[in-house]
């Protein structure tokens, strides 16, 4: 891809507690660890061939990130996500993204603008190929570029953190090819508002864009829900 972005998955080496945290994050994201599942410290320690100490630190970090709920002296469980809460999270992401794109519209440098345009153009062949994984990767870059263009490092961090947190819970990628072209059309509309320097318009379109993705996913979840 040749654009300075790295996958940053420094797994399987370094701190054991970090390895455990990453592994658990993946398993929660993949759904291997179902929501509400009890997380026995000794059991996890055995599974990872470590002692309880790093397991506990991993659980604390996951709890801080919201993926795990800890109750004092009653152990941890994978955070239980109600459909309402998931929708709340999506709405929050949508609103934050809307804020970001508004600020970015007013503050982005010409370089950042051309970078964004370049990215957007780059997505056209991806949509045509229907490569969902590639589009997912592009999409992340597109949105993160906007975060950074706010020139507000803290806000960008928050946006990324919340987005990742939500990502961990969407166990099923969107496999609907149609969604890709709709997504790109919505990006197009956002790009146009940015080009016109209309931050408010860009903001409204971004909010709609995110909520479209949310309802689309929500419908999918509803159709495949277990009970």
Partner DNA sequence: ATGTCAATTATTGGATACATAACACCTTCG
Partner DNA sequence: CGAAGGTGTTATGTATCCAATAATTGACAT
Q: Which residues bind DNA (CB under 7 A)?
A: 15-17, 38-42, 45, 49-54, 56-57, 70, 72-76
Report if residue 89 touches a second copy, rule: CB under 8 A: yes
Q: Which helix (H) or strand (E) holds 69?
A: strand 68-71
Token pair for 1: 């891809």
**Contacts (CB under 8 A) with a second copy, residues 137-156:** 152-155
Q: Among a second copy, DNA, none, what binds residue 13 when CB lies within 5 to 8 Å by partner kind?
A: none
CB atoms near residue 153 (< 10 Å): 10
Phi, psi dihedrals of residue 107, rounded to the nearest 5°: -120, -15
Report if residue 65 touches a second copy, rule: CB under 8 A: yes
Q: How far is the CB of 6 from DNA (least distance, A)?
A: 20
Q: How far is the CB of 26 from DNA (least distance, A)?
A: 18
Q: Which helix (H) or strand (E) holds 117?
A: helix 110-129
Q: Which is nearer to a second copy, 13 or 225 (CB)?
A: 13
Q: How far is the CB of 218 from a second copy (least distance, A)?
A: 15
Residue choice 1, 5, 14, 197 for contact with a second copy (CB under 8 A): 14
Q: How far apart are CA 96 and CA 98, in angstroms?
A: 5
Token pair for 166: 């939500």
Burial of 187 per CB tally in 10 Å (0-12, 13-18, 19+): buried
Strand, coil or helix: what is 144?
A: helix
Contact set with a second copy (CB under 8 A) = 14-15, 18, 53, 56-57, 60-61, 64-65, 72, 84-85, 88-89, 91-92, 95-96, 98-99, 103, 152-155, 158, 162
């Amino acid at each position: 891809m040749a654009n300075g972005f790295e996958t940053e998955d420094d797994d399987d080496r370094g701190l054991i507690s970090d390895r455990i945290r990453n592994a658990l994050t993946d398993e929660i994201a993949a759904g291997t660890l179902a929501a509400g599942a009890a997380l026995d410290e000794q059991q996890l320690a055995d599974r990872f061939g470590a002692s309880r100490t790093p397991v506990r630190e991993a659980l604390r970090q996951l709890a801080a990130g919201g993926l795990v709920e800890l109750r004092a002296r009653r152990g941890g469980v994978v955070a239980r996500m109600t459909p309402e809460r998931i929708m709340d999270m999506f709405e929050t992401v949508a609103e934050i993204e809307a804020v970001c794109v508004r600020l970015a519209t007013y503050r982005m440098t010409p370089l950042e603008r051309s970078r964004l345009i370049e990215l957007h153009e780059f997505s056209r062949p991806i949509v045509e190929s229907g490569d969902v994984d590639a589009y997912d990767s592009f999409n992340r870059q597109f949105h993160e570029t906007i975060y950074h263009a706010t020139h507000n490092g803290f806000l960008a961090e928050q946006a990324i953190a919340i987005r990742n947190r939500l990502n961990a819970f969407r166990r099923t990628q969107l496999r609907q090819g149609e969604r890709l072209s709709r997504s790109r059309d919505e990006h197009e509309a956002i790009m146009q508002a940015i080009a016109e320097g209309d931050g408010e318009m860009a903001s409204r379109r971004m909010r709609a864009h995110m909520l479209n993705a949310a309802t689309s996913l929500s419908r999918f979840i509803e159709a495949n829900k277990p009970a």
